[in-house]
Structure 1
Amino acid sequence: MDFDKKLYEFLKDKTWQLTEEWYATLDKRNTGGVYAMEDPEAIQRMKEQNHEFYKRLNRLFVEDRDTFLEDFEEWVVEVATDENHIRTPLHFILREFFRVQSQYVNLIHQFSEVHKGEISQEKIESWYQEVINAVGKIIEWFTAEHYTYAQKILNAQREMINELSSPVISLDKNRALLPLVGDIDTARANYLLENTLLQCSEKKVSCLYIDLSGVVIVDTMVAQQLFRLVEALRLLGIKSVISGIRPEIAQTAIQLGIQFNDMTTVSNLEQALNLDLD
């Protein structure tokens, strides 16, 4: 008798029952993410995703491993990049994978009890191991997709923040202001260099006021990038005036051996705007 197929049929008839049992025992006290949703439509969508998982996992017992994993690809990518799952702490999601795994271990035990004496213990143990291995592989796959997609979102948000926090603001036909606020790390400094040169070129800026009064801390790499920006502007024929340099930044620049001789620096933005640069 083909007990693999019989087990598959046994499990196939229980997919929605498993979904409802899973949701009924779900810890809904989590403060955020997919498991704390209260909207009926969102809950139904989550149940359907869970139900689809059961349907696909059942095929473990009637398909070869490669086909089984191939069939799972669509589900893994869809759920790993789902907005509600992205907002859910990963350890909550992993907890649910293991709960589902436990459900299957219990069901295999139930099926084995129904056919006690007909199925060897070796066969039963192989089913347990297949479920554990399959869920482990799906978890590995899911977390990789989840991480990759989350990083894409994070990078897109970081680029937007950099763009919004590093604006070249036109003052008149030829002059512009670059007000810098907050901490400047190496990544932001690199972006600042590229973005400022591009914006100045597009806006046909001939004089750029760089105000550092809102910058509290920079490291040596960042200070070097800021002064590289001034040098690059000079090569493009753009005059630059630096205002609001804090003592800490000045000290870092001196330690780097950066000379202020060829740079126009003033204590505040008001003085910079009142300079006669002609």
Structure 2
Amino acid sequence: MDSSLDIYKLMKFIEENNEDFEDSLLNEASNVKDKIEEILMVGNIDLINNARKLVRYIIEGEEQELQSFAKQEGIAWATHEIPLTFKLEWVQAIRRTLWKFLQGYNEITNHVINEDFFSVEKQINNQVDRFLNVFFITYSQYKDSLIMAQRELVENLSVPIIPITPTICILPLIGAVDLYRTNILEEKVLIEIGKLRIQTLIMDLSGIMEMETEVIDHLMKIIDGTSLMGCTTVITGLRAEVASNMIRLGMRLNEKAQTLGTLQQALNKYLIN
């Protein structure tokens, strides 16, 4: 902060008028004030104390601490998916409240800021803007990393290859299977066959009601790929609707692929016999 402004006296002035500062802040943030308790419960984010901390960093010019705090806040808000509109309104309320108190401080100190007003204005607003920039960049980056992690988790869950012996695995497919999922399926299956040295893959389709033509065709190519890698694919639970569609389209399974009516039959054949 500018040398003409005694930051310690200013901080003392704000601390001595803490209740007025909080009331002014809440009045400036009309949409956020009713969400303060909810945000505290959801994300353990104390908006009032954090506002005081931000004001101190701004006034005392603690650049490194301000940026670290902005990153911490960005991660917290992204993790708990708190609307960004609340954060933007809250920080702007802090800005307006800080200026209100600077005006009050200036009046009781015989207008000490008047000569260097523009310098003080530039420093304070730059600090607030810097906080917002670092916050939003961190929020966006962390949000993207969460989305990618969730996507990878969904992809892994959508292709649950379950080892039941050192050479035999089960792949139960459940729910909708579209081209995007079959692309994931192809990549994961071929990688796991090579990594686990799977010799027999039991692919259970009993949880799939229907498949589009393109999906069926892609599934047949995946089975061809497993055969090229020396793995026998056993299809179980193929529903009548899917089988009829394959017949109508003239599709045939790989010659080395086997079919059984149920997963239980496959387990009995490959585990018991």
- Return the match for 2:40 from 35, 38, 44: 35
Distance 2:47 2:204 in 1: 50
**Matching residue within 89, 93, 104 for 1:95:** 89
Question: Matched residue pairs, number?
Answer: 262
The letter of the residue matching 2:5 is K
Deviation at 1:158, TM superposition (A): 2.9
Aligned to 1:54: 55
RMSD value, Cα: 4.5
Q: Judging changes above 3 Å, is the alpha-carbon distance between structure 1 residues 174 and 117 closer, same or farther for their aligned structure 2 residues?
A: closer
How do 1:1-278 and structure 2 match up within 5 A? 4-6=3-5, 8-13=7-12, 14=14, 17=18, 21=22, 25=26, 27=32, 29-30=34-35, 34-36=39-41, 42=44, 48-60=49-61, 69-82=63-76, 86-114=80-108, 119-120=113-114, 123-124=116-117, 127-128=120-121, 130-172=123-165, 174-184=167-177, 188-215=181-208, 226-243=219-236, 244=238, 259-262=251-254, 264=257, 268-270=261-263, 273=266
1:213–1:220: structure 2 CA closer, same or farther, 3 Å change rule?
Answer: same
TM-aligned CA deviation for residue 107 of structure 1 = 1.6
Shift of 1:92: 2.0
Q: Distance in 1 between matches of 2:189 and 2:203?
A: 10
Aligned counterpart, 1:64: none
Task: Pick which of 183-192 and 94-103 moved more.
Answer: 183-192
What letter matches 1:58 in structure 2? I
Q: Does 1 or 2 have the higher relative contact order (CA < 8 Å, sep 6+)?
A: 2
SS at match of 1:180: strand
> Does the CA contact (< 8 Å) of 2:162 and 2:171 recur in 1?
yes
TM-score, reference length from structure 2: 0.70
Matching residue's letter, 2:60: R
Question: Aligned residues: percent identity?
Answer: 18
SS state of the match for residue 237, structure 1?
Answer: coil
CA contact (8 A) 2:24 2:97 kept: no
1:84–1:118 CA distance, 2 compared to 1 (3 A) = closer
The runs of 5 or more residues in structure 2 that have no matched partner are none
Q: Distance in 2 between matches of 1:37 and 1:274?
A: 46
User: How many angstroms does 1:167 deviate by?
Assistant: 1.6
Q: Which sections of structure 1, spanning at least 5 residues, go unmatched? A: 61-67
In structure 2, what residue type is equivalent to 1:89? P
Which string of whole-angstrom CA distances, capped at 9 and with x for unpartnered residues, describes residues 27-70 of structure 1?
A: 464398633469xxx57x6655433312211134xxxxxxx644
Q: Matched residues in 2 for 1:250 and 1:143: separation?
A: 53
Aligned to 1:63: none
Larger displacement relative to structure 2 (208-217 or 138-147): 208-217
In the superposition, relative to structure 1, how do residues 187 and 102 fare at CA in structure 2: closer, same or farther (>3 Å)? farther
Structure 2: distance between partners of 1:224 and 1:23: 65
Query: Would the aligned equivalents of 1:79 and 1:85 in 2 still touch at CA under 8 Å?
Result: no
- Report the Cα distance in structure 1 between the residues aligned to 2:223 and 2:84, rounded to whole angstroms: 44
Check conservation: 2:70, 2:134, Cα contact below 8 A.
Answer: yes
* Kept after mapping to 2: 8 A contact 1:34/1:87: no
Alpha carbons of structure 1 residues 48 and 32: separation in structure 2 relative to 1, 3 Å: closer
Mapped to 2, the partners of 1:224 and 1:59 lie a distance apart of 66
Query: Could you state the TM-score of these two structures normalised by the residue count of structure 1?
Result: 0.69
